[in-house]
Structure 1
Amino acid sequence: MPSISTRRLNQKGFTLIELLMALLLFSALLAFSTTYLTGSLNEARFLQTVERMKQVRQALLGDTLRRQGKVRSNFGYNGDIGALPAALGALSTNPSLPAWSVNAAARFALGWSGDYLGPANLGADFANDAWGTGFLYSAASTPPTLTSYGADRAAGGTGLNADLVLQMPATVRRSKVHGIIVANGAPFTGAAQVELNSANGSGGLSSTLVNVVAADKGHFVFTDVPQGVRSATVYVPTKAAATITVGPAVFTVDRPHYLINTKFFDVGTLVGPTNIEVAMEMVDYGISSNLINLFTTFERTRTPLDTNDYDGTSITYSFEIVATNSALLNSAINLVNSAGAAVGSITVPGLTNNPTRFRATFTPTAGSNDYRLQIPITLLLNQITITTGRILVSQVNATKTRIYVPLIGDTYGGFSAADNVAVDSTSSTAFTQGAPIDYSIWRKNLSRLSLATTTASPYTFVASLQGGNLGGTATAALFNRTTGLAVAGSAISKAGNGYALVQTNFSDAAANFADLSDYEVRIQSSSILQTASIARAGLYIRLEKLGRGESYYRVARSYSGTASPYFDAMRAFINPASFSNPMIANETVGFASTAGVNSFQLYDAGNNDAGTAGAVLAGSGLTLPAAKSRQRSGAFTITPGDRTLGRAVGNGAATTNLSSDTVIVQFNY
């Protein structure tokens, strides 16, 4: 039996089983603590890695919360350089890129401006995640990515071992930039080019040019623009031949689809002074002398002119005629105002048997007035003939003007000493054309016109009408040739016998007055028992801030035949030097009995004011189609100081049916 002392000793110690159990419990606790501590450490490293990846992203793409006022001001490496770097090291060390600086022409800064990770982050290792594993960065992938392999430092895995992938899609890096050019707040309907400046991906400047055509209504778009501060410039009509330059305007592209504020590109407020000559045709049916009246003042040549419509540092008013005088004595052709007072005169020498062009200056009556041609009496009928007459207004440094479009014309070479003859007449109570060949066609094209905005109705339709006996009424209106509908507000009427010039104003927004459509005049009578007559018709258009416009010189009227006549009695002196940035085109209205055979072409007559001598103006010819239509040539050149005349070229068999030919000078083209 054990002693008492031995039992006490045993009672103070641990049995082997107790020791083994204690060791097992300690091992379990140690394993649990290690797992717990490792998990907590990985969680902390996970959060550190996420934060580090966010900071790398900000260095690459900028901080969306950093702003100046309400405008984002930080776009990181991508904004300064124009693309993401090939490697993350470029965020801290310049990889031989241009240093950040302000481009004075583009009006914004670009170039490397690191350290993009910032001084506060210099102690952090941004090349690696918090587990010490290098980030996997790919700028070339779609989209670019920044990846950490997680706690297990290997691809794949779950939980804290899962890969952390930060994507940088195109929507946070690059944008579509839209803009709208306006003219005095309204959509711009002309031609222009827009140049956008941005960073080129290497820290330099990239400039991209897009074209804007009339159908765009001023809208333009650039794609794949790196986000950041950018600028753009509008050139009208082109950068190479700009008459209007707006910009560069600076803006901040900060979203996938960015719209530039329209206030930046209002071209209607920045048009410079322009040189222009406006031609207003006065004679739609030739006039001649008689042997009864001492002077005959022709109502059917009445032409409105308001000096308030024209401005400039210099304005010269002239009138021009192409005339003959078979009498022995010289004769004075007067230009008289509405009161019958002569304001200008041209002397046509006796025995001027060939149609000859003459021009003289005159001083108009201030304000709004009407002007007519006056021919003196001759011993024999028709000893003086005038087949062409036009008023010309030459403006230097102009900001506004009023152009004229002739719309009808009687047979070329025809003239009369009577004042009651008609270019066309009808007894129809429906709008019609009694002689369609006598009617020209005009195309509305707002890309060629800087319409006046200080008046609600910049268009004025004028016509010389008479309604016939017994109170008959003649009405004329402008019609859309495609729809057959009258332009709202364009109808004008005259009751009773005797021609009178009537007119009406209408707006650009008038119903049935669409852009890029063709228009013509039609007439009607109030009764089938009356004959409505028209002796002249045209369209005035007010222009302001002369970004673009046209002047119309008619060099041929109605002709039908198989011959090849010269229209020397309608020659014009068209001087390109009178226009700012001119572009000259020829426009023919007509058709031929056999399409593609007959044509109309212009001749350079040198300094000859009479005769048919001259050389063909290259590029001015137009071949006549089988159906009546309007055609315009491409640009061609007229030598300053030379005269221009036209010729219908036939083959002797097919019939030329010509309504008009007009030389059009576009300015600020």
Structure 2
Amino acid sequence: MQKRMQKNKGFSLIELLIVIIVMGIAMAVGMQWMGASVDDFRRIKTEREMVTLSSAIVGNPDLHSNGKRSDFGYIGDIGAFPPNLNALYQNPGGYSTWDGPYLPPEFAQNTAGYKFDEWGKAYVYTGGITITSNGSGSAVTKKIADASSDYLLNSFIGVIKDADDSLPGTIYRDSIDIKVTIPNGSGGTLSKIYNPDSAGVFRLDSLPAGTHPLEIIYIPNNDTLSRFVTILPRNKSNADYKFADISFPSGGGGGGCDSSGTVILRPNGVGAKTE
């Protein structure tokens, strides 16, 4: 009987210690792996959130209407980078051109959560071209642009001709005003007026990305023709404009585009304004 009991005895103390050590190592490795997986998940979700915040600031380049980009975010309406992330959800100070919220519905429903990363730390954004998360213990940065000028200082070049493809020359160049209206960076608008040179060329400078009203005014007839120009970031746009029935210095009537892509300007009458 005693021999049988000795044969059925349990683990020795050394064997138990070995089992405990192995289990401890396995648990430590498992917990470390789980911790890394949770951090990886938080990092991925945080990076996605920063992309969404970036799109709210500068717009989504994949959104188009009638073949042209239609979304320029906060910058397209204000003409400046927001002072903080709160400006994406709330008007920062009675800005008349603010048209937010610029955040998608799932962000806008949480009026504070969009300011924090997945570790619960506030994003660092102070109006510049980067958004930073420090929740993981190391900086995770989303670069919105290479430089602020990419979105704030763009140009547009146009050429104006009459119905006979003649240029205004030195005599009639001062008879044409080109007015572009842009957001002024502080919630209002700014109108800039230019005259073409003798070759009909005009250059609009320091334009923020966005879609802006453009008025071409033939002063002798007091005709105002309205169009919109779409300014893309880091872009020098251009277009040709042609009066339909005006041979300098006379005027005419209607609108459209000829086969070459030149925009034909047709006023509806003296002082008329066509959209």
**Counterpart check, 1:52 vs 2:31:** no
Equivalent residues in 2 for 1:256-655, closer than 5 Å: 256-263=234-241, 266-267=242-243, 269-270=245-246
Tell me how far apart the structure 1 counterparts of residues 141 and 249 of structure 2 sit (CA, whole Å): 63
Tell me how far apart the structure 2 counterparts of residues 173 and 24 of structure 1 sit (CA, whole Å): 62
* Corresponding residue SS for 1:133: coil
Tell me how far apart the structure 1 counterparts of residues 4 and 73 of structure 2 sit (CA, whole Å): 84
Matched with 1:194 is: 178
Matched with 2:225 is: 247
**Counterpart check, 1:18 vs 2:6:** no
**Counterpart check, 1:182 vs 2:161:** yes
* Corresponding residue SS for 2:182: strand
Matched with 2:134 is: 149
Matched with 2:103 is: 117
Tell me how far apart the structure 1 counterparts of residues 62 and 52 of structure 2 sit (CA, whole Å): 13
Cα separation, partners in 2 of 1:228 and 1:196, compared to 1, 3 Å = same
Cα separation, partners in 2 of 1:256 and 1:188, compared to 1, 3 Å = farther
Aligned residue identity for 1:243: P
Unpaired stretches in structure 1, ≥5 consecutive residues: 100-110, 153-160, 237-241, 275-397, 400-669
Matched with 2:197 is: 213
Contact 1:197 1:206 in 2 (8 A): yes
Contact 2:151 2:208 in 1 (8 A): no
Matched with 2:272 is: none
Matched with 2:188 is: 204
Contact 1:150 1:164 in 2 (8 A): no
Tell me how far apart the structure 2 counterparts of residues 47 and 206 of structure 1 sit (CA, whole Å): 41
> How far did 1:229 drift?
1.3
Contact 1:227 1:255 in 2 (8 A): yes
Unpaired stretches in structure 2, ≥5 consecutive residues: 253-275
Select which of 163, 179, 200 maps to 2:140: 163
Tell me how far apart the structure 2 counterparts of residues 136 and 255 of structure 1 sit (CA, whole Å): 24
Matched with 1:69 is: 66
Aligned residue identity for 1:163: V
Instruction: Give 1 or 2: higher strand fraction.
Output: 1
Larger CA deviation: 196-205 vs 20-29:
196-205
Tell me how far apart the structure 2 counterparts of residues 273 and 171 of structure 1 sit (CA, whole Å): 39
Contact 1:149 1:163 in 2 (8 A): yes
Contact 1:176 1:224 in 2 (8 A): yes
Matched with 1:7 is: 6
Tell me how far apart the structure 2 counterparts of residues 194 and 15 of structure 1 sit (CA, whole Å): 95
Tell me how far apart the structure 2 counterparts of residues 165 and 118 of structure 1 sit (CA, whole Å): 18
Matched with 1:138 is: 126
Contact 2:220 2:249 in 1 (8 A): no
Tell me how far apart the structure 2 counterparts of residues 69 and 250 of structure 1 sit (CA, whole Å): 13
Select which of 112, 116, 130 maps to 1:128: 116
Task: Deviation per CA, 1:428-485: give whole Å up to 9, x if none.
Answer: xxxxxxxxxxxxxxxxxxxxxxxxxxxxxxxxxxxxxxxxxxxxxxxxxxxxxxxxxx
Contact 2:56 2:73 in 1 (8 A): yes
Aligned residue identity for 1:120: E
Cα separation, partners in 2 of 1:15 and 1:221, compared to 1, 3 Å = same
* Corresponding residue SS for 2:11: coil
Contact 1:246 1:267 in 2 (8 A): no
> How far did 1:271 drift?
6.4
Aligned residue identity for 1:47: I
Tell me how far apart the structure 2 counterparts of residues 75 and 165 of structure 1 sit (CA, whole Å): 18
Tell me how far apart the structure 2 counterparts of residues 253 and 186 of structure 1 sit (CA, whole Å): 27
> How far did 1:258 drift?
3.9
Given the two structures, how large is their TM-score scaled by the length of structure 2? Answer: 0.78
Instruction: Give 1 or 2: higher helix fraction.
Output: 2
Contact 1:53 1:166 in 2 (8 A): no
Select which of 217, 229, 241 maps to 2:211: 229
> How far did 1:187 drift?
3.6
Identity %: 25
Tell me how far apart the structure 2 counterparts of residues 68 and 213 of structure 1 sit (CA, whole Å): 33
Aligned residue identity for 1:256: R
Select which of 36, 41, 45 maps to 1:39: 36
Task: Deviation per CA, 1:626-660: give whole Å up to 9, x if none.
Answer: xxxxxxxxxxxxxxxxxxxxxxxxxxxxxxxxxxx
Cα separation, partners in 2 of 1:25 and 1:230, compared to 1, 3 Å = same
Cα separation, partners in 2 of 1:21 and 1:83, compared to 1, 3 Å = same
Contact 2:162 2:248 in 1 (8 A): no
Contact 2:130 2:141 in 1 (8 A): no
Matched with 2:267 is: none
> How far did 1:199 drift?
1.1
Cα separation, partners in 2 of 1:165 and 1:47, compared to 1, 3 Å = same
Given the two structures, how large is their TM-score scaled by the length of structure 1? Answer: 0.34
> How far did 1:262 drift?
1.5
Larger CA deviation: 129-138 vs 42-51:
129-138
